[in-house]
Structure 1
Amino acid sequence: MAISGLFGIANAFSPVGIFNALVPKDGGVTVERNMPFGVHPRQKLDIYRPANDETGLPVIYFSYGGGWEAGDKQEYGFVGRALAARGYVTVIADYRLVPEVVFPDFIADNGLAVQWIADAIGSYGGDPGRMVLMGHSAGAYNVMMLALDPEFGVDVSNVRAIVGLSGPYDFYPFDVSQSQNAFGDFPQPEQTQPVNLVSGGLPPVLLGHGDKDETVFLRNSVALAEKMTENGVDVSLKVYEGGNHADTLVSLAMPLRWRYGVLEDVLAFLDDHTVSIRIR
């Protein structure tokens, strides 16, 4: 399929699984699938790692979006392969979704996956002390909450950087069905908002957002960046001119990297701040 056709699929917000099935992907990657990190059927993760069996590699935990209501880790193989091909052991986990659970349970599942990484990723070539938390959309919210709220049990001292792409960080009062369904019954709604939980002591943060995002407005990343700056956090905000909500995700895929330099921006940020192992 022509690149223009792929771009059309992305901008039409067709299922990510269709997009993932159609796009060519980076090679030189080994995949371990369906590793359990809990007892629930959705508490399983996939591991993408460079095929050269190198050890002591930095680790990226990627949390996907879907409004906390949808998503499947296998649909994000293009993300896992893109990052693993560049020297990062990359973990993508499924987590329980609304309406089966509501806040904070879906974040707790992400926390369990990160704890599994801390305990076991050494057996798959990763260094748990050189971890990056990364996510897109609702997944960006998930990883930000893991870093900001100690109730989820993530040891931030092992986290070298956080990358949030098109994330909702300041969306109370809840005015759309996804946020109402996921957060509407929580008795302290202000405490669900990353912008209200920022303090010092965080690792460096990269926020990427399209200025034409009509799903999660750019003001979410702007507000979080401002609050982090006020608290002395090393935060970088990258605004992609003309970019919509999907662009920061699909631009990680091989055929669409020319459109927005999201992958190179992420890799450059990690080179500057964290772990810097490039094999390509």
Structure 2
Amino acid sequence: MPSHILPVTNPNLHSSKQHSYLRIDPTTMPLKQDDPIASTRLVSSPFEDETIISVRPLLSRTPSFAGTTTTSSSASYQQRRRRVASENSLSSLSDESIGQRQSLAREVDRAAPETFLLTRLGLKLLRYMGVGYRWIMRFLALGCYSLMLFPGFIQVGYYYFFSGRVLRSIVYGDQPRNRLDLYLPKNTDGPKPVVAFVTGGAWIIGYKAWGSLLGQQLSERDIMVACIDYRNYPQGTMSDMVEDASEGISFVCNKVAEYGGDPNRVYLMGQSAGGHIAACALVEQAIKEAGEGGSTTWSVLQIKTYFGLSGGYNLFNLVDYFHSRGLYRSIFLSIMEGEESLRRFSPEVIVQDPNLKKAVSLLPPIVLFHGTADYSIPADSRSDSYLKKLCFAYTLSLSLSNFLIFLILFTRLAEA
């Protein structure tokens, strides 16, 4: 690397050549790496007459403690920066938290009137659809009642889903929900009497699993039970429900022997809306067999007895009552396919027709149970004077003991 030659003047030298030259050696340790003159070493010039001159550095070498001082001051500066940054961060977080709370408060203030408005519109929509205040209160009461019965539901549900003696969802037809559950007795020594049971549910929420408690109790008494499912409203109307129940009864009458049942001891049973549907199916089948038209796949002669539990058999007496209880007239008439069809689906009215005496004579023995404390379908909605001529009518107080009495009575009838 070439040397940098600087001319200097030395007053102590008396020679003809007063100029000497200073060489800066870049290999010496500088104070600042970018300053080549900070620390130098004087060396002689390669000229002959040049004398070595000792010259002190222009800038003295920095003491070692200077670095320490610089480092400590730098560290102190960094600490101050971090402190300030931390304070700024806490301040910003606090401001952000306050801003979020204020924003949340504004959102709540904005959402409250909108929620109230939507609630009012929803209630008005339910009212226009026929679901009014009474329906909502009945639904809440039903929820509280179900909550109190929940421990019992768990026991029955466990039996329904995990018992090996319950054959669930056996297909009996081509329509939706054409399924039935079959409850098998413990003993398999010979054919067993069979109960074809149509569950209730106000024609809207009926389901075959509602009969699991009855199926469990009767199967423990050596009786086979078939709980028939059917289409509910609005999936189907009354004629669809009767058609489904009739197909389920036909399956029981014709196929029950394959499961160990006795086809000669088949009993029909219905509860609440299911009692009404089963009664309509039975009367309609009797009319078909009396020669009034229509093909038949089962016979009323195959039914030993019909048991109706808390059913409604005269719809003319129930329209106003259901309307006052929350099942509004428009919905009820939609289920029953119009006011002109009320007679068709009122078994009590049909059997009083003098032109249908032959069909009525084909009906099996009928046993009706109803509770005096039943508010779903009142016991006085039927004509007792005529029913007593046609069947055995039992008016009982609604309690668990009556259900056990019914089981004992039914067991005796089945044994007979």
TM-score range, shorter chain: 0.7 to 0.9
Question: Unpaired runs of 5+ in structure 1?
Answer: 1-8, 248-258
Q: How does 1:201-240 map to 2 (within 5 A)?
A: 201-220=362-381, 222-223=382-383, 225-230=384-389, 233=390, 235-240=391-396
| SS of residue matched to 1:192 | coil
Greater shift in the superposed pair: 18-27 or 102-111: 18-27
RMSD: 3.0
| SS of residue matched to 1:149 | helix
| SS of residue matched to 1:74 | helix
Which residue is 1:276 aligned to?
415
User: How big is the shift at 1:11?
Assistant: 10
Alignment match of 2:344 (pick from 171, 175, 191): 191
Superimposed CA distance per residue, residues 104-155 of structure 1 (whole angstroms, 9 cap, x where no aligned partner): 1101101100111122100111112211111110011111112212258441
User: How big is the shift at 1:34?
Assistant: 1.0
| SS of residue matched to 2:215 | helix
State the AA in 2 paired with 1:14: S
Which residue is 1:100 aligned to?
235
Task: Answer yes or no: is the 8 Å Cα contact 1:48–1:84 preserved in 2.
Answer: yes
Q: How does 1:35-74 map to 2 (within 5 A)?
A: 35-74=170-209
State the AA in 2 paired with 1:268: L
| SS of residue matched to 1:42 | coil
> What is the distance in 2 between the residues matched to 1:207 and 1:11?
29
Query: Which structure features the higher share of helix residues?
Result: 2
> What is the distance in 1 between the residues matched to 2:151 and 2:203?
20
Superimposed CA distance per residue, residues 228-256 of structure 1 (whole angstroms, 9 cap, x where no aligned partner): 433xx3x2222222x2xxx5xxxxxxxxx
Which residue is 1:128 aligned to?
263
Question: Unpaired runs of 5+ in structure 2?
Answer: 1-140, 289-293, 352-359
User: How big is the shift at 1:200?
Assistant: 2.9
Task: Answer yes or no: is the 8 Å Cα contact 1:60–1:90 preserved in 2.
Answer: yes
User: How big is the shift at 1:80?
Assistant: 0.8
Bigger RCO (CA 8 Å, 6+ sep): 1
> What is the distance in 1 between the residues matched to 2:385 and 2:143?
29
The verdict on how the C-alpha distance between 1:172 and 1:17 changes in structure 2, with shifts beyond 3 A counting, is: farther
User: How big is the shift at 1:17?
Assistant: 9.5
TM-score of the superposed pair, with normalisation by structure 2? 0.54
Larger Rg: 2
Query: Which structure features the higher share of strand residues?
Result: 1
State the AA in 1 paired with 2:316: Y
Task: Answer yes or no: is the 8 Å Cα contact 1:56–1:127 preserved in 2.
Answer: yes
Superimposed CA distance per residue, residues 9-64 of structure 1 (whole angstroms, 9 cap, x where no aligned partner): 99965389957623569999811111101123411111001122233211101111
In the alignment, is residue 262 of structure 1 matched against residue 403 of structure 2? yes
User: How big is the shift at 1:72?
Assistant: 2.1
Greater shift in the superposed pair: 31-40 or 185-194: 185-194
The verdict on how the C-alpha distance between 1:209 and 1:15 changes in structure 2, with shifts beyond 3 A counting, is: farther
> What is the distance in 2 between the residues matched to 1:267 and 1:107?
29
Which residue is 1:200 aligned to?
361
The verdict on how the C-alpha distance between 1:186 and 1:74 changes in structure 2, with shifts beyond 3 A counting, is: same
Task: Answer yes or no: is the 8 Å Cα contact 1:20–1:77 preserved in 2.
Answer: no
Which residue is 1:14 aligned to?
146
Which residue is 2:283 aligned to?
148
State the AA in 1 paired with 2:404: L
User: How big is the shift at 1:184?
Assistant: 4.0
